[in-house]
């Protein structure tokens, strides 16, 4: 096959925006920014520190936070680990019960499993069939010994938006810490940590047209929230995350978040039109189900189950499209996605599901080519798999 | 763009499978079926027999690309073969030809079951 592959996997990772790359390259090339941002005793360190602090303000601004509440990490996985272990372990004297959901990212579920091995109890809420966890479900799960609630803002597989504002309010009323994995929401939906009563918020740059390998954790400052660090060493980031700060990566994340904040409305309006075009085109093959709530979801994600086709064949037949499959998140196993199964899809339908995720550089021509591929290949595979009696 | 998970033979037969479909029920048409959608693999084979030989064969499969390629190649192979061939056919040679991952062997055993079912149908009819 010689045709180029069309990238529709922005929820997995995004290309670096050229404007972000430019800012990073400028930082790497500059003759006077290579100092250690912690070396405040000389100009090189101070210049690097100024770049880091500018980026910190850009990230903070994107989520309605104060800059001093931002802690740099290596990405959302580390942010989630720092939030969950850091909060649960330090506050274990108040209780050892945590509430989360079955459809969280593995970077939340696996730390929670580890905390269970350490004696914590975790309630995993099952979302409704539309993928939404009702705030009432969270309220009902809370116990006197609940210390932490962790809920993702936007689901990575189906794109549904959880009502984190409502959950945050009820956690705040009860004095329970609230962590939000916002890896998929920056630049897609409004995030305001103050208004949403969020205590801890995980972010990453590479889903927002920034570089891989850099992320951040928002840690509430008012009143200050103490965490137990994961890494010990030079005591950077107020002792919460030791390690020399990667200036150019941080500059990239800052630039990416500034663009995300500035261009969110225009981006989402454009992507919603393209996604609807894609959905209309896909529906023409018939016998397809949209996974996740049709309204309460981000503009760029479309997760579809195709009846009557086998998942692996579907993926291979559409190999000119770079998309994620229902089985992709379970690392090569034939089990369907745990997110789709939590929504009540059977294994076969979960496997025959594709996540199309659009982004800043997706064009109408990309969408039309994707529609053409689906309309060509799905009926062909259904013909092979018809097995009429 | 090549995919390391599938050989060129698999890709060729997946993209352009031969003999897809089903032969209409007739006195000279034999059939065999095995597997299920719930298992993730289901094969249906049909073949027309004349003078103790298969003269044409068709397949349908709900399955992975290796299974589609297997159905395509097998139905080509079956033309000219007799009942004894169906009785003794083994999945192993085809698995080797298609570089089948060991984790997928069960799927080709389902194909072998479909071939045997077709042999049984042949034996019952003729």
pLDDT tens digit sequence for A97-121: 999 999 999 999 999 999 999 999 9
The answer to whether the CB of A343 falls within 8 A of the CB of A129 is yes
Q: Under the phi-then-psi rule, with left for phi > 0, alpha for psi from -120 to 50, and beta for the rest, what region is A2?
A: alpha
Confidence of residue A1 (pLDDT cuts 50, 70, 90): very low
A·B CB contacts under 8 A: 54
Go through A179-200 and write b for each residue having 16 or more CB atoms within 10 A of its CB, e for each that does not.
bbbbbbbbbbbebebeebbbbb
Give me the domains of chain A, ranges plus CATH numbers: 6-14+264-384 (3.90.1150.10), 18-259 (3.40.640.10)
- Cross-chain Cβ contact A386/B1 below 8 Å: no
* Percentage of residues of chain A with pLDDT beyond 90: 92
- Cross-chain Cβ contact A385/B64 below 8 Å: no
Q: What is the pLDDT of residue B38?
A: 87
End-to-end CA distance of chain B: 48
Tell whether the model's pLDDT for residue A327 goes beyond 60: no
Residue A385 is nearest to which of B1, B2, B60, comparing CB atoms?
A: B60
For the beta carbon of residue B69, count every other beta carbon within 10 angstroms. Answer: 26
Nearest chain A residue to B67 by CA: give it.
A313
pLDDT digits (tens, 9 = 90+) for A174-229: 999 999 999 999 999 999 999 999 999 999 999 999 999 999 999 999 999 999 99
Tell whether the model's pLDDT for residue A306 goes beyond 60: yes
Nearest chain B residue to A336 by CA: give it.
B40
Q: How far is B85 from chain A (nearest CA, A)?
A: 24
- Cross-chain Cβ contact B65/A316 below 8 Å: yes
Q: Higher pLDDT residue, A387 or A247?
A: A247
Q: What is the pLDDT of residue B81?
A: 97
Q: How far is A312 from chain B (nearest CA, A)?
A: 5
> Which one of B38, B62, B63 makes the best mutation probe of the A interface by having the most chain A beta carbons within 10 Å?
B62
Nearest chain B residue to A314 by CA: give it.
B64
> Which one of A328, A387, A388 makes the best mutation probe of the B interface by having the most chain B beta carbons within 10 Å?
A387
Active site residue A171: no
User: With a cut of 70, which residues of chain B have pLDDT below it?
Assistant: 1-3
Q: Give me the residue label for tokens 């965490």.
A: A227
List the Cα angle A163/A167/A173 in 5-degree steps. Answer: 150
* Percentage of residues of chain A with pLDDT beyond 70: 96
Complex prediction ipTM: 0.95
Tell whether the model's pLDDT for residue A245 goes beyond 50: yes
Give me the domains of chain B, ranges plus CATH numbers: 8-125 (3.90.1010.10)
Q: How many Å apart are CA A209 and CA A35, to the nearest integer?
A: 26
Q: How many Å apart are CA A162 and CA A371, to the nearest integer?
A: 29
Residues of chain B found within 8 Å of residue A5, distances taken between Cβ atoms: 1
The answer to whether the CB of A64 falls within 8 A of the CB of A195 is yes
Confidence of residue A388 (pLDDT cuts 50, 70, 90): low
Interface of A with B in 355-384 (CB under 8 A): 383-384
pLDDT digits (tens, 9 = 90+) for A57-79: 999 999 999 999 999 999 999 99
Q: What is the pLDDT of residue A329?
A: 39
Span A314-340, average pLDDT: 76
- Cross-chain Cβ contact A384/B65 below 8 Å: no
Q: What is the pLDDT of residue A337?
A: 87
The residue from A5, A27, A171, A329 that is catalytic is A329
Q: What share of chain A is helix, strand, coil (3-state, %, to 5)?
A: 40, 15, 40
């Amino acid at each position: 096959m010689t045709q180029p592959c069309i990238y529709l996997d922005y929820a997995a990772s995004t290309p670096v925006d050229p404007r972000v790359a430019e800012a990073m390259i400028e930082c790497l090339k500059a003759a006077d920014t290579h100092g250690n941002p912690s070396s405040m005793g000389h100009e090189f360190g101070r210049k690097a520190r100024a770049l880091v602090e500018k980026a910190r303000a850009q990230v903070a601004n994107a989520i309605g936070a104060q800059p001093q509440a931002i802690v740099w990490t290596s990405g959302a996985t580390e942010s989630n680990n720092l939030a969950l272990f850091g909060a649960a372990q330090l506050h274990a004297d108040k209780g050892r019960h945590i509430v989360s959901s079955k459809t969280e990212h593995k970077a939340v579920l696996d730390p929670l499993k580890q905390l269970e091995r350490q004696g914590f109890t975790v309630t995993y809420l099952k979302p409704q069939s539309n993928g939404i966890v009702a705030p009432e479900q969270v309220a009902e799960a809370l116990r006197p010994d609940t210390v932490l609630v962790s809920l993702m803002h936007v689901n990575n597989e189906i794109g549904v938006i959880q009502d984190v504002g409502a959950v945050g309010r009820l956690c705040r009323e009860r004095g329970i810490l609230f962590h939000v994995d916002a890896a998929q929401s920056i630049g897609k939906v409004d995030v305001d940590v103050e208004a949403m009563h969020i205590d801890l918020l995980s972010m990453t740059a590479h889903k927002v047209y920034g570089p891989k390998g850099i992320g951040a954790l928002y840690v509430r400052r008012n009143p200050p929230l103490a965490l137990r660090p994961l890494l010990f060493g030079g005591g950077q980031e107020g002792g919460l995350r030791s390690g020399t700060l990667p200036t150019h990566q941080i500059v990239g994340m800052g630039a990416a978040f500034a663009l995300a904040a500035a261009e969110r409305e225009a981006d989402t309006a454009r992507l919603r039109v393209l996604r609807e075009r894609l959905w209309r085109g896909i529906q023409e093959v018939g016998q397809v189900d949209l996974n996740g709530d049709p309204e309460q979801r981000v503009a760029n994600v479309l997760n579809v189950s195709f009846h009557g086709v086998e998942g692996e064949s579907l993926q291979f037949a559409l190999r000119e499209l770079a998309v994620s499959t229902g089985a992709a998140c379970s690392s090569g196993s034939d089990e369907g996605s745990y997110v789709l199964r939590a929504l009540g899809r059977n294994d076969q339908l979960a496997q025959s599901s594709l996540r199309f995720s659009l982004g800043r550089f997706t064009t109408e021509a990309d969408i039309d080519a994707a529609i053409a591929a689906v309309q060509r290949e799905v009926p062909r595979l259904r013909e092979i798999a018809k097995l009429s009696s | 763009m090549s995919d390391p998970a599938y050989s060129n033979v698999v890709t060729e037969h997946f993209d352009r499978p031969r003999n897809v479909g089903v032969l209409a029920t007739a006195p000279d048409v034999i059939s065999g079926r095995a597997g299920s959608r719930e298992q993730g693999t289901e094969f249906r084979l049909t073949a027309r027999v004349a003078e103790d030989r298969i003269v044409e064969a068709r397949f349908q499969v709900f399955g992975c690309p290796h299974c589609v390629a297997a159905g395509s190649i097998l139905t080509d192979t079956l033309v000219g073969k007799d009942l004894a061939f169906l009785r003794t056919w083994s999945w192993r040679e085809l698995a080797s030809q298609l570089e089948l991952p060991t984790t997928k062997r069960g799927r080709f055993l389902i194909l072998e079951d479909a071939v045997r079912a077709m042999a049984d149908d042949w034996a019952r009819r003729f």
